[in-house]
Amino acid sequence: MVAEHPGLPASGTEEDGSVIVRVLSYNIRSMRDDRAALARVIQACAPDLVLIQEAPRFFRWRKAAERLARAAGLVYVTGGGTTAGPMILSTLRAHVERTEDVLLPRTPGLHQRGFATAVVRLGRARLGVLSCHLSLADRERYEQAGLLLERLAALEAPHAVAGGDLNDRPEGRSFRRVAGALRDGWAAEPWGGEFTSTPLEPRQRIDAVFTTDGVEVLGCGVPHGLPGVRGDDLQAASDHLPVLAALRVPAGG
């Protein structure tokens, strides 16, 4: 599904002190695909914050993360090898107050999972940020969805955004658990494309951006047709499509 919607607003600060923030969530498959295409997609989306899943996490993973950040015109904030994959990048517009890398309880035989979290200031707005990649196993995924909500609340920021690969569709119980407490960006203000997996034949939405109350979603979806975002780059960069959201975050906090 593709939503009819005007272009997303650019990042900026409004007269009342609220800020327009662009947030990109992207599963990058450990950068095993076309790295140049990946950097071009991220840069063309002009995000203030990038919530990465499946960041490099093994040998020299920090150097790989730094190379991606530089290529996309961003800086490394937190996560990667320390979170078993989730990572946060940002522009210099975001002033980082604090970060915390979280490893989740692990089920024997299943992959380690974690959250990358931060609290940032953009102008006069203060925002909690969380990047996640939930389990393939239904029971563990549902428990992790609850931990996501707990961890986001524990950031104690007046407003917050979470994004990631949920490995669950909107009708699934883990997705519904998160969307029941937070605002699902695509459901609130669909823009661009809906389905995120797989790039060649997208048929399901398992990646999403969520916000807490008080954050206005101005548009959210796969950035098909966004100037600078080429279809061949989207197909070459990863086995997921990215989700781009434009948010209005009130001043204060």
- Where do the H-state alpha helices sit in the chain? 35-45, 61-71, 138-154, 173-181, 185-188, 231-237
The phi-psi region of residue 210 (left if phi > 0; otherwise alpha if psi is between -120 and 50; otherwise beta) is beta
d(CA 72, CA 61): 17
The phi-psi region of residue 15 (left if phi > 0; otherwise alpha if psi is between -120 and 50; otherwise beta) is alpha
pLDDT of residue 190: 97
Quick check: 86 and 114 in contact, CB under 8 A? yes
Listed residue (207, 97, 93) closest to 160, CA to CA: 97
Residues in the chain: 253
pLDDT of residue 198: 95
Residue 183 vs residues 6, 128, 187: alpha-carbon distances, Å:
21, 15, 8
Quick check: 65 and 76 in contact, CB under 8 A? yes
Residue 233 vs residues 43, 95, 237: alpha-carbon distances, Å:
12, 30, 6
Encode pLDDT of 170-226 as tens digits: 999 999 999 999 999 999 999 999 999 999 999 999 999 999 999 999 999 999 999
Encode pLDDT of 41-57 as tens digits: 999 999 999 999 999 99
Peptide bond into 91 cis (omega under 30): no
pLDDT of residue 252: 84
pTM of model > 0.95:
yes
pLDDT of residue 4: 53
pLDDT of residue 59: 87
Quick check: 153 and 114 in contact, CB under 8 A? no
Quick check: 200 and 235 in contact, CB under 8 A? yes
Segments of the chain scoring below 50 in pLDDT: none
